[in-house]
Amino acid sequence: MQKAWFYEVYGPKEVLKLGDFPIPNPMYNQLLIQVRAAALNPIDFKRRQRPIFPSDFPVVPGCDMAGVVVGKGDAITKFEIGDEVYGNIQDFNAGGKLKQLGTLAELIVVEESLIAAKPKTISFEEAASLPLAVQTAIEGFTTAGFKEGQTVFVVGGAGGVGTLVVQLAKHFYGASLVVSTTSTPKVEFVRNLGADEVVDYTKTRYEDIDKKYDLVYDTIGDSKGSFVLAKDAAPVVDITWPPSHPRAVYSSLTVSGDNLEKLGPYLESGKLKAVIDPTGPYAFGDVIEAFRYLETGRARGKVVITSYPSQQLPSSIPSVIKNKVTSEMVNQKLSVY
């Protein structure tokens, strides 16, 4: 058994319990990973509040993680025992059903294709903060067909996704002008991320901005108002569902370790930086408090969980899982409860 946070009914954060949870067996195409850090995302509490995605109870929340490979199926070729990895373990396009065992557990299983090697220059906490947010950010630029030299207006540049949209626009996609909204206390913070101009939304309305942009990238669901800043026929990307304006295009999510690998050099060089909310990282035992803060909508960057109970492998893990899973286990169904 291992320690994990889970819920058995839908509801507020108080339905979460910390308790014993079975250690999973990795299938032929999966890795068993000892989680060192995880990040919380809005989808984690929205999924807990109501049945957005089909799932069997109990559910261990969590999509993002960084950790160490401690077991592998016999189809695994890219990673070895002891490798440090990170990724989003939930494939949102895999038939609409998410994993029952998320990343708020000591040990999780994940398909090799969904993860990447952790850049050596960043911590487990920094790596865990990135996957879902950066994959979401990339998908928006892909959806818009964004081209080098174009201009972008980012709605919500201080949030978990927004901080990465601003940085990617400037350093990865080569935008000629990056403008972002935020509140008064976060203006310099967003400017330091790479925004050429920062609009304080508490003082300036969209209608008061004269300039028009090649892309309006809405990270908070305010496309109903921000669409006025797009040039004629220019895309308005809204990562929330449903988009708040009919013109806005919803950006879905492609979960891929390959996308994370491409960002490796930018993370190694420091051109792309993970942003962890200054109230954290939160300890594993403080998950409910971390969710309480995330649900206020005031987070600057990502809310990260660290200090997992055990930094050593539980002695109850069978040796076959610690080393290799044979092809005889291909048809074995994952049992997590």
- Residue-level pLDDT at 93: 77
- Inter-residue contact 112 to 85 (CB < 8 Å): no
User: The CATH number of the domain where 8 resides is what?
Assistant: 3.90.180.10
Q: Are residue 145 and residue 221 in the same domain, yes or no?
A: yes
Give every strand in the sheet of 177-182, ordered side by side: 197-200, 177-182, 151-155, 215-218, 236-238, 249-250
Q: How far apart are CA 48 and CA 208, in angstroms?
A: 39
Could you give the CA distance from residue 41 to residue 136 in angstroms, rounded to a whole number?
12
Say yes or no: 163 and 49 in one domain. no
65 and 99 in a common domain: yes
Residues 283 and 209 in one domain: no
The answer to whether 128 and 65 have CB atoms below 8 angstroms apart is: yes
pLDDT of 2: 95
Domain CATH for 243: 3.40.50.720
Could you list the pLDDT tens digit for every one of the 337 residues in the chain? Answer: 999 999 999 999 999 999 999 999 999 999 999 999 999 999 999 999 998 877 789 999 999 999 999 999 999 999 999 999 999 999 987 666 789 999 999 999 999 999 999 999 999 999 999 999 999 999 999 999 999 999 999 999 999 999 999 999 999 999 999 999 999 999 999 999 999 999 999 999 999 999 999 999 999 999 999 999 999 999 999 998 888 888 899 887 889 999 999 999 999 999 999 999 999 999 999 999 999 999 998 999 999 999 998 655 555 555 444 444 333 333 333 333 2
- Cα–Cα distance for residue pair 156/112, rounded to 1 Å: 33
- Rounded Cα distance between 36 and 74, Å, is 24
147 and 224 fall within a common domain: yes
Looking at the 3D structure of the chain, how many domains does it have? Answer: 2
Enclosing domain of residue 77: 2-130+274-329
Instruction: Tell me which H or E stretch contains 189.
Output: helix 187-193
Q: Report yes or no on 258 lying in a domain.
A: no
- DSSP per-residue codes, 261-293: HHHHHHHHHTSS---B-TT-PEEGGGHHHHHHH
- For residues 90 and 17, membership in a common domain is answered with yes
pTM of the model: 0.89
50 lies in the same domain as 112: yes
Say if 268 falls within a structural domain.
no
Whole-Å CA distances, 90 to 114, 136, 241, 283, 298: 8, 13, 18, 22, 25
Rounded Cα–Cα distance for residues 218 and 257 (Å): 25
Q: Please answer whether residues 213 and 231 qualify as being in contact, where contact means their C-beta atoms are separated by less than 8 angstroms.
A: yes
**What is the dihedral sign for C-alpha 326, 328, 333, 336?**
negative
What SS3 state is found at 333? Answer: coil
| 111 contacts: CB under 8 Å, gap ≥ 6 | 29, 30, 31, 91
Q: How far is CA 145 from CA 192, 242, 249, 256, in A?
A: 26, 21, 12, 19
CA 4/CA 103 separation, integer angstroms: 9
User: Is the Cα torsion angle 14, 129, 131, 150 positive or negative in sign?
Assistant: positive
Q: Are residues 183 and 223 in the same domain?
A: yes
Q: How far apart are the first and last CA of the chain?
A: 10
Residue 56's pLDDT is what?
87
Q: Residues, the chain, total?
A: 337
